[in-house]
Amino acid sequence: MKKGRRKKLRFFHWMMIVASLIGLVYFAQSALLYTNAPIKAALKTDLQPGEVKLSKTAKPVEGMVNQWDITVRIEGRNQFPPPPTDIVLIIDTSGSMEENDRMIKAKSAAEKFVNMVLHKDYVNRIALVTYNSTVTNYTFNQAGWSDQFVDYAHKSLLIDKIKELEPVVNGGTFTQAGIKSATEVMAKATGEKRNIVLISDGVPTYSYPPTAPYNQLSGMELFDYPSGAAGYNYYESVKTIPEANFDYSKPYGNGAKYRIGAFAPEYEQMPTGSKNRLMANHAHSAIAQATITKNEKMSNGDFLVTDFYTIGVDLDSASQDDEIKTGNQTLKEIASSEDKCFAATADNLDDILSGIAGEIVGAIKSAHVVDPMGTGFVMNGSESVTQGNSEAKDVLGVKTINWDVGTLKTPVSNDPDEDVMYAEMTYRVDATNDVLKPNVIDTNGLAKTNGKTTIVYKRYDDTVIPSEFEVPSVKPIIVSLQKKLLDEDGKEVTEKSDSFDFKYGNDQYTGNDTFTLFPTEVKKIVHPWKASQEYTIEELLKSTQDYETQIEINGQVTAGTKDVFKFDSVNGQYTDQQIIVTNTRIAQIRKVYLNIRQAVIGPNEELVIPSKGYFTSDIENTDQTSNIISKSTTKDTPAEVSESLFMKYELMLKKGETKVSISDIIPEYYQFAGYIVSSTNQNLNTTHISSNTSGLMKTNKAELDYQTNEEYWLTMFITPKLGTTNDGDKETSPRPYSWAYKVNQFGQ
């Protein structure tokens, strides 16, 4: 009993483990399915099926100031599902498709087209018809399933067949037969929309012969045939042959030319000696067949074909070659409208087919963007678009980009089930001085890079939607230069008495930055700068301008006519440059000041104390000598010395005169003890006393430099010295009537 119970428990335990593993596998599979599901893109973009998102951004160019890369982006999620559409894909497999790898690239483009149209959960189908000299329309079979139209579940059959296609050597171009066969296949279509897509690289070279009267002179059209023999009238088959008047039992042509001689029995025999000649125009017959197809209706009254697309591969639209011109014109007339006809190269065939797929399944069938530059912003270079055509031109003086977008056809990811498509335009803009115009920069220092940027697009349901992009705002960086002028006394001069020339650096951005400013004037500059480069601001003084210059950049002052600045980044943003250049007039005659006194130290009781000091002043490198008188006292203590002891002199120095020397004229029985000088009157009572031996200069010549200071305070110290007698003995008292007893007249 216990043993059986134990077996049951063990069995139950294993069943739980298996169930858990199955659950894990299911969860993993569900996750993978979810990852690859079309809704993945919707989660990334928050777009609903058929919804469109517009964005416009401005990204600063790395290493640059006042330069941005603009990106205009359109995203749209495909319809989910789009209206059920049946498509017949007609591919020309004539021999010329081997040239320039046309067939290789056509097959690659067709495969991408199939994958875009036969998307998971789309109720779309595609049939395949190929033609050269003959026509093949394909029926696909797989495991009991058979049809000419292939759906999503069986698209690998169609892709495999497309990969197998090869150009037929010496094969002609039986375009009419390809169209007729595609029409017969389309008659079996059940889709809400029914489209034909024809890919060809040449003019038709086969057609079905018409029947009376369109194969007779009376039913044909006179034309100018430069290659024909002179003296003959040439008639060719017309584009308006109805379906009932074609003999579909046999082809006509030689596979080489689109226009050949029309002879019996297919065409009327011209009488002997007739000057009339009949020509079969295979291109006209292809156009006639397309007209028949486009006019055919279903039992409910709807046209059998909704849209007829044609793609001419390597048919240069500018070529003057008759065959190429005719091939282009033929495809235009076969298409349901001119905008459904495309001129392709082997290299952009992929892009064109993707665009047609986008018209069938995309959120946008076509779109047009108008993008004007904003005030103060100019394009640097040209625009680049991921698809469509763009042109930048002046509209009322404003550079404006017109972008014909077409349909959205590039997936935003490599996910095989991606259903969000995008188109993008990029270009670079520079800020200019025009951003300084009124009302361009807002209160936050921001300016809009563009004017009103609009889009008009045709939605998947053919509704025309006008909308706008949100225009980005950026911060232009301003270099501001202010001119200040001061007179000799340091007072600001505001009148325009003089002008001053300046320049910045000399790279590709600043080479034209030369300008003239008057006092109080401010010059602001906005243009691109290199963020990592030092720029030099230089004032170019004229030979007649006698000024001292200092330059202040963002609060830092430098003496001289040159200084450098660099753009600093604060929190990832560059800052404005504030530059102030100040000029001060250099005085021709400058006022400076001398405060002077004489102090007698260690006075002799028998010696008269001079009441005045007598000095000579000399200006360096000149012959100018002056006599100066000051007070003379014995006051030499902190309690006694004050500003009142000094005699103040105003000296007038000419330009270039900076140094003045002062010498004391020593009275008899005295000698020079030294001097103390200072450039301030602070602490005179402690500085200008003889006990300040560290400040005492022993020479009897005080050198005063007025280049650095405008005022000096000078104390000259003298001390008694009696001397010797005529006999060489030391004197013990002064002699009577020495000059020290009377006023000194400076040696007179």
pLDDT (tens digit, 9 = 90+) per residue, 558-568?
999 999 999 98
For residue 746, name the pLDDT band (cuts at 50, 70, 90): low
Residue 733: name the closest of 671, 668, 684 by CA: 668
Residue 39 belongs to some domain of the structure: no
Q: Does the pLDDT of residue 17 top 80, yes or no?
A: no
Q: Does the pLDDT of residue 444 top 80, yes or no?
A: yes
CATH number of the domain that 229 lies in? 3.40.50.410
Residue 581: name the closest of 512, 500, 491 by CA: 500
CA–CA gap between residue 133 and residue 97 (Å, rounded): 13
Q: Based on C-alpha coordinates, what's the Rg of the chain?
A: 51
Mean pLDDT of 87-92: 98
Q: To which residue do tokens 């209206």 refer?
A: 83
- Give, for 294, the enclosing helix (H) or strand (E): helix 282-295
What does the pLDDT look like over 672-721, one tens digit per residue? 999 999 999 999 999 999 999 999 999 999 999 998 899 999 999 999 98
| Contact of 612 with 599, CB cutoff 8 Å | no
| Contact of 314 with 345, CB cutoff 8 Å | yes
Tokens of 194: 């029914």
**Which amino acid, 361?**
V
Residue 436: name the closest of 327, 576, 227 by CA: 576
Q: What does each C-alpha distance from 518 to 180, 494, 505, 510 come to in angstroms?
A: 83, 9, 21, 21
Give the three-class secondary structure for 164: helix
Domain count along the chain: 4
Does residue 94 sit in the same domain as residue 204? yes
Residues of the domain holding 384: 52-77+369-405+422-474
Residue 316: predicted pLDDT:
82
**DSSP-derived pairing of the beta strands 573-574 and 589-600:** unpaired
Tokens of 513: 């930055």
Does residue 350 sit in the same domain as residue 381? no
CA–CA gap between residue 747 and residue 170 (Å, rounded): 131
Chosen domain end from 542, 566, 585: 585
Does residue 441 sit in the same domain as residue 308? no
Give the three-class secondary structure for 111: helix
Chosen domain end from 474, 502, 517: 474
For residue 30, name the pLDDT band (cuts at 50, 70, 90): very low
For residue 44, name the pLDDT band (cuts at 50, 70, 90): low
| Contact of 315 with 201, CB cutoff 8 Å | yes
**Least confident interval from 66-80, 82-96, 469-483, 650-664:** 650-664
For residue 45, name the pLDDT band (cuts at 50, 70, 90): low
Residue 318 belongs to some domain of the structure: yes
For residue 424, name the pLDDT band (cuts at 50, 70, 90): very high
**Distance in angstroms between the alpha carbons of the first and the last residue of the chain:** 153
Q: What does each C-alpha distance from 396 to 372, 373, 393, 399, 400 come to in angstroms?
A: 11, 12, 10, 8, 9
Residue 25 belongs to some domain of the structure: no
| Contact of 424 with 384, CB cutoff 8 Å | no
Per cent of the chain over pLDDT 90 is 75
Q: Does the pLDDT of residue 610 top 60, yes or no?
A: yes
Tokens of 482: 């202010």
Ordered alpha helix ranges (H), 37-82: 39-45
Secondary structure (H, E, C), 574-629? ECCEEEEEEEEECCCEEEEEEEEEEEECCCCCCCCCCCEEEEEEEECCCCCEEEEE
Does residue 304 sit in the same domain as residue 385? no
Does residue 293 sit in the same domain as residue 310? yes
Residue 296: predicted pLDDT:
97
Does residue 110 sit in the same domain as residue 251? yes
Per cent of the chain over pLDDT 70 is 92
Does residue 283 sit in the same domain as residue 429? no
Residue 6: predicted pLDDT:
44
How many residues in total does the chain contain?
748
Mean pLDDT of 266-280: 96
Does residue 117 sit in the same domain as residue 134? yes
CA–CA gap between residue 39 and residue 417 (Å, rounded): 9
Residue 302: name the closest of 86, 573, 481 by CA: 86
- Residue with the bigger pLDDT between 587 and 264: it is 264
Mean pLDDT of 445-458: 97
Residue 423: name the closest of 78, 68, 72, 47 by CA: 72
CA–CA gap between residue 131 and residue 145 (Å, rounded): 25
Q: Does the pLDDT of residue 479 top 60, yes or no?
A: yes
Residue 69: predicted pLDDT:
98
Residues 15, 16, 17, CA angle at the centre, nearest 5°?
90
| Of 622-626, 654-658, 715-719, highest mean pLDDT | 715-719
Q: Does the pLDDT of residue 724 top 80, yes or no?
A: no
CATH number of the domain that 614 lies in? 2.60.40
| Contact of 117 with 87, CB cutoff 8 Å | yes
Residue 246 belongs to some domain of the structure: yes
Does residue 465 sit in the same domain as residue 485? no
For residue 428, name the pLDDT band (cuts at 50, 70, 90): very high
- Give, for 661, the enclosing helix (H) or strand (E): strand 659-665
Q: Does the pLDDT of residue 612 top 90, yes or no?
A: yes
Q: Does the pLDDT of residue 656 top 60, yes or no?
A: yes
Q: Is-cis flag, bond preceding 81, omega within 30? A: yes
Does residue 509 sit in the same domain as residue 621? no
Q: Does the pLDDT of residue 108 top 80, yes or no?
A: yes
Q: To which residue do tokens 């005085």 refer?
A: 587
Tokens of 715: 């104390």
Residue 437 belongs to some domain of the structure: yes
Mean pLDDT of 10-32: 38
For residue 734, name the pLDDT band (cuts at 50, 70, 90): confident
**Least confident interval from 212-216, 587-591, 708-712:** 587-591
- Give, for 370, the enclosing helix (H) or strand (E): strand 364-372
Secondary structure (H, E, C), 344-382? ECCCCHHHHHHHHHHHHHCCEEEEEEEEEECCCEEECCC
Residue 615: predicted pLDDT:
96
- Give, for 181, the enclosing helix (H) or strand (E): helix 175-186
Q: Does the pLDDT of residue 16 top 50, yes or no?
A: no
CA–CA gap between residue 671 and residue 145 (Å, rounded): 135
| Contact of 307 with 275, CB cutoff 8 Å | no
Residue 736: predicted pLDDT:
62
**Least confident interval from 168-172, 261-265, 727-731:** 727-731
Residue 748 belongs to some domain of the structure: no
| Contact of 545 with 485, CB cutoff 8 Å | no
CA–CA gap between residue 705 and residue 699 (Å, rounded): 16
pLDDT, the chain, mean: 90
- Residue with the bigger pLDDT between 131 and 622: it is 131
Tokens of 107: 């097959």
Q: Is-cis flag, bond preceding 734, omega within 30? A: no
Mean pLDDT of 422-441: 97
Does residue 101 sit in the same domain as residue 235? yes
Residue 30 belongs to some domain of the structure: no
Residue 31: predicted pLDDT:
34
**Least confident interval from 132-146, 375-389, 505-519, 727-741:** 727-741
Does residue 137 sit in the same domain as residue 62? no
CA–CA gap between residue 67 and residue 316 (Å, rounded): 39
Residue 31 belongs to some domain of the structure: no
